[in-house]
Amino acid sequence: MSDLQDRGRVEVSPNAVATIANHAVLNSYGVVGMSSKNLVNGLAQVLRPDSKRGVEVQIDEDQIVVDLYVVIEYGVRVATVARNIISSVKFSVEKAMGVPLTSVNVHVQGLHVSAEERQGGRPARR
């Protein structure tokens, strides 16, 4: 994405947008973490931690499309959490970039079941 002006131009990389989106997602209620789109990328990212994991950004002219791959806590309303993620990411990216997002797509890759839930509602023994 670039912005032409009389004095020059400003370009924002997809990685910058991905970092903003990642921060917004991880601060959303019900989100446990980000996930990879597929297993091969997941193994590579386990070896190399990345603040953009689970975020894909496509920029064409003045259109931004963000795909998010998330893991959500078991027991929350998935659709509500996904809508909140979309709203949060849209707000954060549009505020920082000054360009409206074309779309934000949330892909729920899994649900995290806490140890307490696995034990039938009882805290896990240590």
User: What does the pLDDT look like over 18-50, one tens digit per residue?
Assistant: 999 999 999 999 999 888 877 555 544 444 455
pTM attached to this predicted model: 0.78
Q: Report the CATH number at residue 72.
A: 3.30.70.1350
Residue 81 resides in a domain:
yes
Q: Is residue 9 part of a domain?
A: yes
CA–CA dist 89, 92 (Å, integer) = 5
At residue 91 the predicted structure's pLDDT band, cuts being 50, 70 and 90, is very high
Number of domains in the chain: 1
71-88: pLDDT as tens digits: 999 999 999 999 999 999
Tell which wins on pLDDT, 119 or 63.
63
pLDDT at 121 over 70: no
* Average pLDDT along the chain: 83
Whether residue 126 lies inside any domain: the answer is: no
Assess if residue 28 is contained within a domain.
yes
Give the pLDDT score at 56: 95
pLDDT at 29: 95
124: in domain:
no
Is 67 inside a domain boundary? yes
**pLDDT at residue 44, rounded to an integer:** 44
59: containing domain: 2-118
Give the pLDDT mean for 93-104.
Answer: 93
Task: Give the phi and the psi of residue 51 in degrees, each rounded to 5.
Answer: -75, -5
